[in-house]
Amino acid sequence: MKILAIETSCDDTAIALLEVKKSKFRVLGDTIISQTKIHEKYGGVFPMKAKMAHAKNLVPALLKVLKLKKHHKTIFPEGKIVRVRKILEREPELFDALQERLLNIRPPKIDRIAVTYGPGLEPALWVGINFAKALSILWNVPIVPVNHMRGHFLAPLAESKTIKFPALGLLISGGHTELILAKSPTSCKLLGATRDDACGEAYDKVARILGLPYPGGPHIARLAEKARSQKLTANNSFTLPRPMMHSKNLEFSFAGLKTAVLYLVRKVESTRLPSPERSKSGQGGWKVEQKEKEQIAREFEEAVKDVLVSKTAKALAHMSDMWEIKTLVVGGGVSANTYIMKNLKKLAEKFNIKFLGSSKALATDNAVMIGVAGLYTKAKPLGKIRAVGNLPIEK
């Protein structure tokens, strides 16, 4: 079976083509067009700009993945093109690109189109969904609407890894922080989530406070790693809280941690003289020094790690009363963090269960994981497929 996967839930336009044989995946094509440059200046993702960029990027991304050659003339009947135009009436730029570059290529041999329908930014999700619908009409291929978070959870399957069920999933991304129980690839239940900011969001906000670029995760990780490798002695006045670490439930909270970093930075800065350049530019302010940034990044990452390990341990202990959990799967953008993964792996070893994550490329948003989840999802009629911004893991 061949699955074409489309992912536009946030700020990456991603398309992949997967071949599945006996539940083993082979990636035939995979591309991601990142919008980091567009959103960098806002320090976060701007939904309408994301939508516009997806509309611009989808056709080039598809052509890159399918590697199809042009035919000399349009090969689709007018009736289909009219339906496609209607589907894409809110994305005229996408329709134009499709008309110009896709109407003269032969339908590829694919069996289904997997498209993310949530959770995510609705304007961004809609572009991907409408594009999938347009392709579905043109090529007579069914659509399977995929839950983005299930994609993160199942991503390791794309790399020939096996999830033994029941499994516990820790999903840590820019928009979500969730502990889930999965009895099978299609049966997921939420055990606990963040009450406020997601784990990756905390990384991004802290990065912004420290004057680092967006997305902040990899930058914080680099500073923290530097502080650890230099064995800088921990500065006790830099201690940060571990929010909800000892609460009985399986919920998280990261907003307070980010605020604590903000206050800490202000405190450090208040002991400094203003830097002449920044005062001149009217921004006022005092600077935290590089070494201090490294120490703050390390302490922040330590706090995140402590909370994640402790809550996952609580979930494992709690769940093992009812289920014999066989695998701990960690997914989502923050699972690209080596230090956090190393510590979660140790935890899995303690519980004597299998530990799984994916390579860094499949930890952050991509379409391969959507294709994988697409194997385990049922097709739906086009009229029933719509973007659901706050889609829960159960759906």
Report, in Å, the least distance between residue 49 CB and Zn ion. 18
Contact flag: residue 122 with Zn ion (CB under 5 A): no
Task: Name the residue nearer to ligand KG4 (CB basis): 258 or 318.
Answer: 258
Q: Is 173 in the site for Zn ion (CB under 5 A)?
A: yes
C-alpha span between 253 and 13 (Å, rounded): 29
Q: Are 142 and 316 in contact (CB under 8 A)?
A: no
> What is the rounded CA–CA span in Å between residue 322 and residue 316?
10
- Minimum Å gap between C-beta 179 and ligand KG4 is 16
Beta bridge partners of residue 330, listed in sequence order:
170
Shortest CB 228 distance to ligand KG4, Å: 14
CA distance 126 to 208: 29
Residue 35 is a binding residue for Zn ion (CB under 5 A): no
- Give the residues lining the site for ligand KG4 (CB under 6 A): 10, 173-175, 200-201, 203-204, 215-218, 221, 332-334, 336-337, 364-365
CB of 337 vs ligand KG4, minimal distance in Å = 3
Contacts of 257 (CB under 8 A, 6+ apart): 202, 206, 240, 241, 242, 243, 300, 303, 304
Task: Single out the segment in contact with Zn ion by CB under 5 A; choices: 48-56, 87-95, 169-177, 273-281.
Answer: 169-177
In total, the chain counts a number of residues equal to 395
Q: Which is nearer to ligand KG4, 169 or 216 (CB)?
A: 216
Nearest Cα residue to 285 out of 295, 273, 298, 296: 273
* Interacting partner of 57 out of Zn ion, ligand KG4, none (Cβ under 5 to 8 A depending on kind): none
Query: DSSP state, 194?
Result: B
35 or 136: whose CB is closer to Zn ion?
Answer: 35
Asked if 365 touches Zn ion (CB under 5 A), the answer is: yes
Please report how close the Cβ of residue 368 comes to ligand KG4 at its closest, in angstroms: 13
Look at residue 200 and give the partner it binds from Zn ion, ligand KG4, none, a contact being a CB closer than 5 to 8 Å depending on partner kind.
ligand KG4
Task: Region of 240 please: left (phi>0), alpha (psi -120 to 50) or beta.
Answer: beta
Q: Which is nearer to ligand KG4, 185 or 333 (CB)?
A: 333
Q: Which stretch binds Zn ion (CB under 5 A): 41-49, 257-265, 282-290, 358-366?
A: 358-366
Would you state the structure tokens that stand for residue 218, as one six-digit string? 């990899």
Tell me if residue 163 falls in helix, strand or coil. Answer: coil
With residue 56 as reference, give the H or E element that holds it.
helix 47-66
Please work out the total of residues on this chain that contact Zn ion, with binding judged by CB under 5 A: 2
> Should residue 204 be labelled a site residue for Zn ion when binding is judged by CB under 5 A?
no
Q: Which two tokens stand for residue 147?
A: 């839950």
What are the residues binding Zn ion (CB under 5 A)?
173, 365
